[in-house]
Amino acid sequence: MNSALRTIIIDDEEKAILNLKSLLKQFPLIKVVAHETGSANALEVIENFKPDLVFLDIHMPGKSGFEIAGELYREGSKPEIIFVTAFDKYAIEAIHHAAFDYLLKPVKQEELAAAIDRLLVKQLQQDREQQIKRLFEHSSNKGKLKISTTGGFSLINPADILYINADWNYAEIYYDSEKNELVTMNIGSLEELLPSMDFFRINRSTIINVAYLVKVSRKHRTACLVKDGKEYTFKIPILNIRKLERFLER
């Protein structure tokens, strides 16, 4: 792991956020990119910043931390989560059972350090697993992707994909206006499989092949693809337009 983990703090207590931000300054491999007071906009903030790690309070007005974690899972978003809570033996039993990590309020430096150490070890193991997985898939399938479908699986050349639309645990891969395929994978899983230099997630449910991107409108907040003379237009939030510009400049 070569770069710092992009981190978001979500808590309904401003004092708790400030305390945790202060403690995290001691850890160069943790970079706090945003925080959110309360649960109302938590999912939107996580989607916009796409963090590697979320410190997530459990007991908040509106949605609990458990509910937010469940929605992230259903949408295919997979940041690491460290729950933060005042002592609640039932919540802690649930966390232990699901193999998540947690911190008790008020968060102490030594307990935070131990949780981060456990996380970094886990990240290093996952990095190695992903390296081996990518190497095996590339050497075995000559660059094709194995995609689960309703009837089995397909081997797909990523360059043939125009765009992908997702809905919960299903997605449709479009090759052109007449050819598409329903797959039993959520958008987060598909995003991990696709070549990161060639595909960009422009909104919550759409991934595009940038090879077919010809125009982006800031005024109308749209992205236009063209293949075989046909245009395909998609909505794109203004924040994602800026991210797309940086993505294309790499």
What pLDDT does residue 132 have? 60
**Which amino acid type is present at position 211?**
A
235 has a pLDDT exceeding 70:
yes
Q: In terms of Cα–Cα distance, which of 166, 197, 11 is closest to 76?
A: 166
β pairing state of 199-203 and 145-149: unpaired
The pLDDT tens digits for 168-211 are 788 999 998 889 999 888 888 888 888 888 899 999 999 999 99
What pLDDT does residue 149 have? 82
What pLDDT does residue 203 have? 94
Residue 163 confidence class, pLDDT cut points 50, 70, 90: very high
The pLDDT tens digits for 10-62 are 999 999 999 999 999 999 999 999 999 999 999 999 999 999 999 999 999 99
Residue 129 confidence class, pLDDT cut points 50, 70, 90: low
Residues whose CB falls within 8 Å of the CB of residue 178, separated by 6 or more in sequence, listed in order: none
Domains of the chain with bracketed CATH: 5-135 (3.40.50.2300), 145-248 (2.40.50.1020)
- Dihedral angle, C-alpha 65, 68, 73, 76, nearest 10 °: -140
What pLDDT does residue 31 have? 94
